[in-house]
């Protein structure tokens, strides 16, 4: 029997790829999305990439009546609706809290009266803060971090109390959260609200902590989206990608196709109830290397600009340990990074981007959120 699925925020980057994955597996998909101008541009039009089979409800996840209508006949919900962006969340606090926290509360209240079989919530690597670190002897250092004095001095790497360098390690789900932005706090709240609700009401609920997702359909003119999209926007406008700190910070990049497949595996899993999973590639890449590679793939002889600045809320290193997802869900990434980048760059050739990166940096500077 075909499943009826609702994806909140499903007209966006990750959600739209998930709709394609679910349709391929004989699901009927309904999307609730407000078609935010920051993501979709002016005009609130149905995105051309959204499959014609998808039923689109244009509306606000904070409106109970709209959510109620969207849940009609649904047996699985993917909750992706959220404001996204570490930097912007530090000054648009009310909006981020309203959409991410209150919107989730509205959804959960409506699920009391309109129960479903499965709830999957999109969480984020941002809830970890810094990733996991070990000392030279292999001992875990659970509270590793940086202070303001260190950052002002441009001492980017993390050491122990004695000043010895710590070694970044893959971050497992068991790492204690360290919330250092309003965005991270709101994603943690979304995750925990859904898990608490699921436990209380006997609803099969799973949280997926996405790492840096990349791929086609990213909002290239949104300066608060993923870092690859921001770099691409700069390069399309023949400007150097702006990189914070020294460019050696490590991140985990995963193809949106792998993310969509992981979501579908969770929907069909009988072992995922009440669990959280890292969804990443399990690989680590220096940010400067990524910017240089993108420029080369796009045929741009433009070197990234290393700003030597720190953006409040950023972390030094964080990459995923995906052991749990592999063992429980049978998930392993299938799109090699080099293939994913080639697909992204090919898509970019037909795209137009308005570069707003300097404007975003200016907003942070004005509020003293850059060091």
Residues forming the active site:
183
- From CA 135, how far away is CA 132, in angstroms rounded? 11
Tell me the CA distances in angstroms from 139 to 11, 136, 142, 168, 283, one per residue in order: 44, 7, 9, 12, 21
- From CA 95, how far away is CA 37, in angstroms rounded? 14
């Amino acid at each position: 029997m075909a499943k009826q699925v609702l994806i909140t925020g499903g007209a966006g980057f990750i959600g739209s790829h998930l709709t394609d994955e679910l349709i391929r597996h004989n699901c009927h998909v309904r999307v609730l999305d407000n078609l935010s101008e920051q993501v979709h541009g002016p005009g609130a039009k149905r995105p051309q990439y959204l499959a014609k089979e998808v039923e689109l409800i244009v509306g606000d996840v904070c409106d109970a009546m709209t959510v109620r209508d969207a849940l009609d006949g649904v047996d699985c919900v993917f909750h992706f609706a959220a404001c996204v962006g570490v930097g912007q969340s530090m000054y648009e606090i009310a909006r981020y809290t309203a959409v991410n926290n209150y919107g989730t509360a509205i959804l959960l209240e409506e699920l009391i009266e309109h129960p479903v079989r499965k709830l999957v919530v999109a969480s984020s690597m941002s809830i970890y803060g810094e990733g996991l670190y070990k000392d030279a002897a292999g001992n875990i250092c659970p509270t590793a971090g940086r202070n303001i004095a260190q950052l002002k001095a441009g001492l980017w790497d993390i050491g122990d109390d004695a000043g010895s360098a710590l070694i970044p390690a893959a971050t497992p789900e068991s790492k204690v959260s360290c919330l250092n932005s309003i965005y991270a706090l709101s994603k943690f709240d979304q995750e925990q609200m859904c898990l608490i609700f699921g436990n209380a009401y006997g609803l099969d609920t799973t949280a997926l902590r996405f790492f840096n997702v990349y791929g086609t359909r990213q909002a290239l003119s949104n300066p608060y989206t993923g870092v690859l999209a921001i770099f691409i926007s700069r390069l399309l406008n023949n400007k150097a990608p702006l990189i914070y700190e020294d460019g050696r910070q490590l991140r985990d990049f995963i193809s949106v196709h792998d993310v969509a497949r992981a979501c579908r595996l969770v929907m069909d899993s009988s072992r995922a109830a009440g669990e959280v999973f890292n969804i990443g590639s399990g690989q680590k890449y220096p940010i400067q290397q990524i910017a240089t590679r993108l420029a080369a793939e796009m045929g741009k002889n433009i070197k990234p600009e290393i700003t030597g600045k720190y953006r409040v809320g950023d972390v030094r290193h964080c990459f995923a340990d995906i052991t749990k997802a592999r063992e429980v869900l049978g998930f392993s990434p299938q799109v090699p990074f080099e293939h994913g980048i080639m697909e992204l760059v090919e898509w970019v050739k037909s795209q137009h981007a308005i570069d707003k990166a300097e404007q975003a940096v200016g907003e942070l500077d004005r509020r003293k959120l850059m060091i």
